[in-house]
Structure 1
């Protein structure tokens, strides 16, 4: 068979050859083309990232023994799962009670590089402009140690709801979740953020191996790439307005072509003289930029034949400092302050069920009660899913606690808990939505797995009524 001729039996690579994807990439790969094409005969890389808001990487690794885990070089909380040494049961990690408790996020390793490069610090103002499904937002929250302000934005409301779900399970307490266009946010909050992440919507070439492994036919075209590049330029223009002078911007995609990567950044730099590329950390296996950014600092390609992962592009930029005074950013209005009934319901709930009331500023929206991060922002007129940490819903003189409240606390924060071992059948019964039997004092309690909260229960007469959210419940046969 001639060099680069696709074996018809290899249906995965035949799809990619038919639509012109491999031919388009050939000039970028050069002598590495065969090695790149060979990755499509290999299974996708499976990775997980530990939630360091809740436990250390070593502590989770001990809990997942004997699962074979290899460290991700560029992420201290990240691991690759050795598929050759794993059993089929190991790949139900997304259905594990430990996952439901928010102890880890399933993420392919090259995607873990993005938040690490942005490197947000506790107390900073950080924006994830294209946040869905929320994996990188959870990573940012962990690096920020739940301190400062994290705004996770996703234009499509349904996808923004997935971001909210992931941040809720993660235990993020300092996040605001919006569903707005980048342009509207830029008009509202110019020059406000210390760091901005643009994980841009793209043609997703780095997802092809996973899609093919799932039996999906890849749809790709040069026209799709061109359309993505235009949209990416618009998003970057808005991101530039949102960043303060001296701030850091990371642009990333999970695609390989020049048009959505180096050419986008090159055009951006030509039209934004106040931005420059900043030096990236040196990581073995990361390849330099190509095309118009060949030899430039601040650009890296993570190819799947060079590193463990499905592939990513990264560009690290900094807005040059200036002595000009940035335009003022409107702050939150006082209209969101809780009424007396909501304030009383919250204080009464905390006194009866928690060891101490979590400190912070309260905000009421309708019947819902939140704790807002600092600094506060004016959210009036914007599409906002969560204006802060959701605490619960006021129902007259009482508060119905939220799932987010349970997942944002530790076992030590509750007056009453029901702690179960991971292999206890009662854990899966709880995740199914079933009531549990456990003697003890009446009232709200945290149902925990291995000392980590899973959600709420309410005990009366030795029966714990299940308050695990219906939309999260595991379907299937009872595990009692």
Structure 2
């Protein structure tokens, strides 16, 4: 039997009344697991035909699928092709509520490890501009990897306090996601560490931080824009009470209905006026852990920040270096139209900068890392492999059942006849990395940090 903090149980009993027993009993049920399809790389029918352990769609996210508890999707070779993200079912709710579109300017304010960033990026179809920010530098490596694995090319990663982003992005974004730090009550069933820390928290540990983040985000949103505030806790103090406080301080904001999620909207408002617009996922009602989300709209008035959309930054690449990159693209059979004049060299990295010039911020990922130079030679990046268009591209393909596919992911060289030079390695047609054919041997250029152990 799962042991829950006494203070938490007393609070939920007072809150839920007759629903309390059903709620508490749900903690004895199994955790629900899901994978979310990468719509940039594979359509629904194809995904359902090659992933044989799907158990139906998550009701609030048509691209997410339940899977059985014993499955280990991280060992699936298609995961390493970036075809899906492993995500707790309720975690896909906030982005569905935000509903980003191609061409939007979007901020994921508390982005690491990147599940919601990849969901946003896929919905944007690599059109527009996406900033993934997180204050915790140690978590940015996983965020960067997931961005690259999913093949996002319109995304940058910043490591800033929300207030610092106002130096450049005041009143700029169409949409903002705030997946706020919280007490994590909704994760008690699946995360013992969160549960064990709970009773040591000070009463205002999270609420003061949540208020500050919301206020900073409101300044980053353009008039007419929308933002979603979400947590993975049941706490009224961190959900409805936070939003009620924010609305009394910011009369130019209002909650707006979740029409696209009407079928799962929960009408429990706990006496707060206007909170029929908020959504809660309950473990005793839905197949997912606890979650809260509400969409807020900023009224249309005031100044919209007129930021340049031309990436005119320093470190432009030399003609000789640009020529080396273009020669590789031509060798492999890739289009070069959008590269000429847009490449930049930072130390040894060749970067295709984002469409928006970013200055005076700690930006650790400034756009698609195309490759790098080593001893004067250009080498293509893992990020480029994960997003290339296969049309006319020179490839070596392995089936998912071919032992060579696993050997490649382990970083092994593979004996293979073929025309000398660079090739894009694919698994059943889905890009996974680079190889280089030399004298009957394909040298392995799969990123070392990603290799299977």
Task: Give the match for residue 344 of structure 1.
Answer: 323
Task: Give the match for residue 436 of structure 2.
Answer: 458
CA deviation after TM superposition for structure 1 residue 122, in Å: 0.4
Matched-pair contact (CA < 8 Å) for 1:457–1:468: yes
- Partners of 1:348 and 1:253 in 2: how far apart? 48
- Partners of 1:407 and 1:444 in 2: how far apart? 15
Cα gap change, 1:413 to 1:163, in 2 (>3 Å): farther
CA offset digits 1:436-473 (Å, max 9, x no partner) = 11110111111111100111111101111111111111
> How many residue pairs were aligned?
449
CA offset digits 1:147-169 (Å, max 9, x no partner) = 11011111111211211100100
**Structure 1 position 363 matched with structure 2 position 341:** no
CA deviation after TM superposition for structure 1 residue 226, in Å: 2.2
Task: Give the match for residue 244 of structure 1.
Answer: 222
Cα gap change, 1:148 to 1:217, in 2 (>3 Å): closer
Task: Give the match for residue 196 of structure 2.
Answer: 218
Matched-pair contact (CA < 8 Å) for 2:258–2:265: no
Matched-pair contact (CA < 8 Å) for 1:301–1:314: yes
Task: Give the match for residue 80 of structure 1.
Answer: 66
3-state SS of paired residue (2:93) = helix
Q: Which runs of 5+ in 2 are unaligned?
A: none
Matched-pair contact (CA < 8 Å) for 1:44–1:210: yes
Cα gap change, 1:183 to 1:217, in 2 (>3 Å): closer
Matched-pair contact (CA < 8 Å) for 1:330–1:378: no
3-state SS of paired residue (2:262) = coil
Q: Which runs of 5+ in 1 are unaligned?
A: 1-9, 476-480
Matched-pair contact (CA < 8 Å) for 1:161–1:385: no
Equivalent residue for 2:388, pick from 390, 396, 409? 409
3-state SS of paired residue (2:344) = strand
Equivalent residue for 2:106, pick from 84, 102, 126? 126
Matches within 5 A, 1:18-417: 18=6, 20-65=7-52, 67-83=53-69, 88=70, 91-212=71-192, 218-221=196-199, 223-224=201-202, 226-281=204-259, 282-291=261-270, 293-322=272-301, 324-329=302-307, 332-357=311-336, 359-360=338-339, 361-374=342-355, 376-379=356-359, 381-395=360-374, 397-412=376-391, 414-415=393-394, 417=395
Matched-pair contact (CA < 8 Å) for 1:280–1:297: no
- Partners of 1:335 and 1:234 in 2: how far apart? 34
Equivalent residue for 2:411, pick from 433, 444, 459? 433
CA deviation after TM superposition for structure 1 residue 398, in Å: 2.9
Q: CA RMSD in A?
A: 1.9
- Partners of 2:42 and 2:305 in 1: how far apart? 40
Cα gap change, 1:52 to 1:226, in 2 (>3 Å): same
3-state SS of paired residue (1:288) = coil
- Partners of 1:224 and 1:354 in 2: how far apart? 59
- Partners of 1:372 and 1:58 in 2: how far apart? 34
Matched-pair contact (CA < 8 Å) for 1:286–1:303: no
CA deviation after TM superposition for structure 1 residue 175, in Å: 0.5
List 4+ stretches of structure 1 deviating above 6 A.
Answer: none
- Partners of 1:57 and 1:249 in 2: how far apart? 28
CA offset digits 1:177-227 (Å, max 9, x no partner) = 111111100232101110010011111112211124xx9863212734521
